Each structure stands twice: as C-alpha cells, then as structure tokens.
Amino acid sequence: MYVYTEEMSDMTTAEDIYDYLDEIMPFSKAEKWDNSGLLVGGYDSPVTKVLTCLDITNQAVDEAVKKGAELIISHHPIIFDPVKRVLIGTPLYKLINNGITAICCHTNADIADCGTNGAAYELLRDILDLGERTVLEELYPDGTGLGWICSCGRIAPKELAEKLGAAFKTDVRYTDCGNAIERIAFCSGSGGSLMDMITDPSTALVTGDVKHNIFVDAENRRISVFDCTHYSTEILFAEKLCRLLSERFPDLEVSASEKGTDYIQFAAR
C-alpha cells in the first residue's frame, strides 16, 4: 500500500513502464488465448525498483519484497486460467498483500524482435556463425511473427547439440538426420509444431518442450530437431528485459531475478 503525495508526481509509474513495453513489444500482438499485460496492481503505482523474471514464483515474489521492488515483470503470466480463489501462501496472494504490481509479457514478447527469440539469436549468433535472420512464421502484415530462420556454419548434429547445450546451459535431446546442418529454424519455449514449415533436411529445428510424436515425425522426415528445454530457451528474456529497462529508465533500480534457476532436475543414469 502507498499514499500518493505531490512529490510523487514526477516519479516513474507502472503505466510509464507499461507504455514503453507496449512500444517495443506491443500487447496487441499477443495471441488471442494469451493473458499478457498489467495483471496485478494499478497503472498509477509509483515505481523505483523493478524485478524481471521468467515465472512469478513464491521465490521470485519473496525476492521482490526483499529488494523493495514495487513492480515485477515476467514472461509467463501470473494469471492464465480463471482464478476462483486467492489463497495465503500463493504468489498471487503475496503480490496483492505486498502491494506489488505485475506486468506479464508473454506471446507479445515471443513475437517482438527484442523479445525471447531475439535474445536467443544474440546468444547463438557468434557461437554458430549465424547469418541474417528472417521470421520463421509470419503472423502479421508487417512481417512480424514467431521465431527465426537463418544460415549457420556447416555443423554435424552431434556438435550442434553440444554447442547448444553449452550455450543454453542445459541437457539437449535431439535427433540426427544423418546430414550436416546448414540452416537453423529457432523458436523459444515450445515450437515443435513449427516443424511442418521445414522441408530441407539440412535445416534443423531448435526449440523446447518437444513431444515424442514430434521426434517420431522428425525421424521419419529425416529432419534434425533439438530440444533445449522450455526454460533454457526463455530464461534469457529476464536478463534482456533488465538491460532494456535500465537503458530506458536510468533512474530505476532494475534487476533480473537471482532465483531464476531451472526448477526441473535431471537424475544421473
């Protein structure tokens, strides 16, 4: 809770930050099923400290409280399905109880050039000698859409898997079509359905959350697919957004969550 005073009139508000986000990754381009935007709090809330994260977990909210952040910005929406109750101990309750505003940039960030897919391109560009990228799946008349596709340095599937694992800091599941890879089609999060757009066996699909049937289809079509996990292909967004906000609002204290570690563990064989 806060009490508005005259001295606060020149302070940055949640609306100022929302408007900037809307400028670089328009909320109007979010998928119809999505729930991006300001989901908790008010537009007129004064903001001096911001925490960015992938998911608004209990740990992330506790971190925001500890750092004194009035605003938390995540990729995945804190509210997705209809909410029928808000219980003590849940992230949503903690946000409301501590007066923390929440803005979520989901599919609008996936589509934006500076969003999740753009952050992955920046990470992989030099590592894989990537060429200029074009949009993988165009969704709007202005040419924007999901993912990207571009040339890469000729590389064997096994070596590509190793480089992707090192870059994204994760274990990589993949299929080896038997051909060298010369182009990469990338979609952060869960983009297995985009494999239908690939017909050339020298083009690999790099994404996360690949289902078994997608791997089977890839094997039958002799296309190499690389699953770098949903988390690892999107956690980059928190750091990217932190940099963007720090540059645009130098008066704010912006930090990426230190609790942004992968929640999924892998047991040794």
Residue 6: its pLDDT value, please? 47
Q: Using one digit for the tens of pLDDT, what is the confidence trace for 193-205?
A: 999 999 999 999 9
pLDDT given for residue 18 in this prediction: 98
Q: Domains of the chain: which residue ranges? A: 6-109, 113-233
182: nearest Cα among 220, 130, 219: 130
The correct CATH number of 113-233 out of 2.60.40.1730, 3.40.1390.30, 1.20.810.10, 3.40.440.10 is 3.40.1390.30
**Structure-token pair, residue 172:** 């990589």
Q: What is the pLDDT of residue 4?
A: 46
User: How many whole angstroms separate alpha carbon 21 and alpha carbon 28?
Assistant: 11
Query: Whole-prediction pTM value?
Result: 0.92
Residue 61: predicted pLDDT: 97
Q: What is the pLDDT of residue 184?
A: 98
Q: Using an 8 Å Cβ cutoff, are 89 and 58 in contact?
A: yes
Identical fold, 6-109 and 113-233: yes
Vertex 137 angle, CA 203 and 158, to 5°: 25
CA distance 217 to 98: 48
Fold of 6-109: 3.40.1390
Contact status, residue 17 vs residue 50, Cβ threshold 8 Å:
yes
pLDDT digits (tens, 9 = 90+) for 92-130: 999 999 999 999 999 999 999 999 999 999 999 999 999
User: CA 30, CA 211: separation in Å to the nearest integer?
Assistant: 24
Split the chain (269 residues) into runs of 10 and give each run's mean pLDDT.
52 97 97 96 97 96 97 97 95 98 98 97 97 96 95 97 97 94 97 93 97 95 96 96 98 90 71
Cβ pair 144, 138 in contact under 8 A: yes
